[in-house]
Chain A
C-alpha cells in the first residue's frame, strides 16, 4: 500500500440506497502547533490523519459520535471502500435510520495512526529521509491512537463527544477514551473487547508477526524501498487471525468437511476442503488492502494494551473520577461464541465499573458467529446499540430529528 489512496467513488453501476458519501475520505495535519508525545517517548509533529464524517454536526456540537475501527479496519465506516469497492465495514450499523443514525448524529471515524489508509504509519514517507518509514516508525499504543483522535475532535471544535463506539481493538480505544478523557465523552459503547490483551491473544498476534517476518520479501521491514511485498507472510498472518474471528460452530455450519469443487480428496496439498479455499481467499484479498508493517505495529499496540496496569493493577481505579465514579455512561456488549474476546473479559470491565458504581449496561448476545459477530447482521445486537444510543440521547437532551420531522 502506498500513500496515495484513490478518491472515494461509488461503483458506477450500483447506487445503494441510503449510502452517504462525499466526506468519507478527508485529511488533516495534526500536531502542528505542538507535537504529540507518544507513549514510547517519540514526538510526532505535523502528521496526517485520514478520517471520514457522516451526517451533520448540530449547532452546539453535541451530537458527535466517534467510531473506532478494529485491527484491519479503516475510516470507510459506511461508504464504499476505495480499494475493495465493497460497502463500508459497519454500513449495517451506521447510516440514515440505522442504529447509529446519521440523520441524527455526526459520525466521525479516523484511520488509526500506524494504519495504512492515509494516516501516518510505517508505509508513509518519513520527512527525515523522504522514504517510507518502515521499522523507523515509532511503536504506537492504543492510547496514542486515541490521543490523535482527541486532536482531531479538537480540530473539529468538538469539546465533548456524545458517544464513542467500536468493537475489538475499536472497543479498546473506546475504553481508553473514557479513561483518558472522561470529560470529553458522554457515552461509551465498547463491543467484544477487553481491558487488556490476554496471553492467548498476544500469542496469536506473535504467530502472525512471525509469519510476516519469515517472508524473505519482508526485507527486515524495508520492502517498500526494495520494490517487494511480503504477501505470503501477510496472507498467512491473516489466515491464522481469521480463524480466531470465527467459532467452531460457525465454521462447521458454513463449511463442515465439504470439499472444494471436487468429489473426492486429491491426496495432495491443494485446497481440497472448502474451509481451506475460504481461508486462502481471505489471505489473498487482504494483502491487496493492507500493509505488512502496519499489521506489525497495530498488533503490537493491542498487545501492550492493559488499562489496569496504568492504575496500580486495579481496573476499577481507571474508572474513578474526582473522588467519584466516571461520569461516562457505559454499555458493554459481548457475543456468546466469541473466544477471542470472551464474555468474561467484558464482565471484568463491568465488575470494575460496578466497583465505582458507574452507570453501566451489559448485554451478552447469543450467537454462534464468534468474534466477527460485531461486524455482521445481528438484530439483537443492533437493537441494543439503538436502545442505548436513544436512551443516552434522551439524557443528553438531543432531539430526535427524525421524530421532529414527522
Chain B
C-alpha cells in the first residue's frame, strides 16, 4: 500500500497506470533490471514487466501487497527496505525505484545511499512539503496539512520524514549523489517545465521525480 493513499491503484495490463508512475516507467530503459522498493500492489512493476519487458523485482512491507503481487506472478519479497537492502550486491540492478516511500523511511539518508549503491540509477519520487498548498495550510490554518494526496492526520500518518524539494537536492549534494534528471509535477500529477533547482519548483511542485546516481558512476 502506498503511504500516500488507501485506495488500490491497480489497473493491470490496460496501460492505464497513475500518471506519476507512468512518468517513472518512461525513465526506465526496456529490458533492464529493475528493483521497485515499496512496490505496493505491483501496479508499476506489472507495467514495467509487461510493457517494457524488464527483469523486475519488488520489495513490499505489507502482507496484502506482497500477496497481490505474487498471486499475479510478480517477483516480490515481503521485506523491509531499511533492513533488507544491505543484502543486495552493488550494481545488481539498472534501476532501483523508490516511489512515494522516502518520506515513510526511518533513515532516508541511509536508504538513499543504498539505492545508488544497488542500482546504477535510482529513481526517487516524493511529495514536496514545500508545495504552496501545504505552506498555506500551515500558515493560515495553523494545522498539519491533510490534502488529497497526503490523506492522513498527523497522529496516524506513516509519513514521518517529510522534506521539500530543496531539502532533498541539498541532501543529494551532501551525499555526493548527482541528479541526472528531474521532473516536477504540479497539481493532478501534471508534469511542469520547472527545474528542480528553481525556487519556484519548490513552491509550485506538488511532487518531484528524480533520477539519481552515485557521482563518478557514469556509464
Which A residues fall within an 8 A CB radius of B? 329, 331, 347, 350-351, 354-357, 359-366, 380, 383-384, 386-388, 390-392, 394
Contacts and interface: CB of A to CB of B under 8 A. Distances in A.
Interface stretch (B81-89, B140-148, B200-208): B81-89
A359 B74 CA distance: 10
Given A360-B77, A362-B78, A355 B88 contact: yes
Interface residues of B, number: 22
B79 A391 contact: no
Interface string B83-108: 01001110011000000000000000
A363 B66 contact: yes
Contact of B77 (A329, A355, A356, A361): A361
A387 B72 contact: yes
B76 A361 contact: yes
Contact of B55 (A351, A359, A386): A359
3 tightest A-B contacts by CB?
Answer: A391-B73, A387-B71, A357-B92
B89 A362 contact: no
B88 A363 contact: no
Given A355-B88, A380-B67, A362 B79 contact: yes
B70 A388 contact: yes
10 contacts: A329-B75, A347-B79, A360-B77, A361-B74, A362-B76, A362-B79, A364-B78, A387-B71, A388-B73, A394-B73
A255 to B, nearest CB: 28
A366 B63 contact: yes
Given A366-B63, A380-B67, A384-B67, A359 B87 contact: no
Contact of B57 (A351, A359, A364): A359
A363 B78 contact: yes
Contacts of A363: 63, 66-67, 70, 78
A322 to B, nearest CB: 15
Contacts of A350: 77, 79
Contact of B75 (A360, A365, A386): A360
Given A357-B89, A363-B78, A387-B71, 12 more contacts: A354-B84, A354-B87, A356-B89, A357-B93, A361-B75, A361-B77, A363-B67, A384-B70, A384-B71, A387-B72, A387-B73, A390-B73
Contacts, number: 65
A384 B77 CA distance: 12
Contacts of A355: 87-89
Interface string B43-71: 00000000000010100000100110111
Contacts of B79: 347, 350, 362
Interface centre among A331, A350, A362 (most CB of B within 10 A): A362
Nearest to A389: B73
Contacts of A331: 70
Nearest to B87: A354
Contact of A387 (B70, B77, B88): B70
A359 B92 CA distance: 11
B75 A359 contact: yes
A94 B82 CA distance: 38
A366 B78 CA distance: 12
Contacts of B69: 361
A392 B57 CA distance: 14
A383 B67 contact: yes
A361 B73 CA distance: 9
Nearest to A366: B63
Contact of B88 (A347, A357, A390): A357
B77 A354 contact: yes
A360 to B, nearest CB: 6
Interface centre among B63, B73, B76, B87 (most CB of A within 10 A): B73
Contacts of A366: 63
A356 B90 CA distance: 10
Contacts of A387: 70-73
Contacts of B74: 361, 391
A388 B63 CA distance: 16
Interface centre among A347, A354, A392 (most CB of B within 10 A): A354
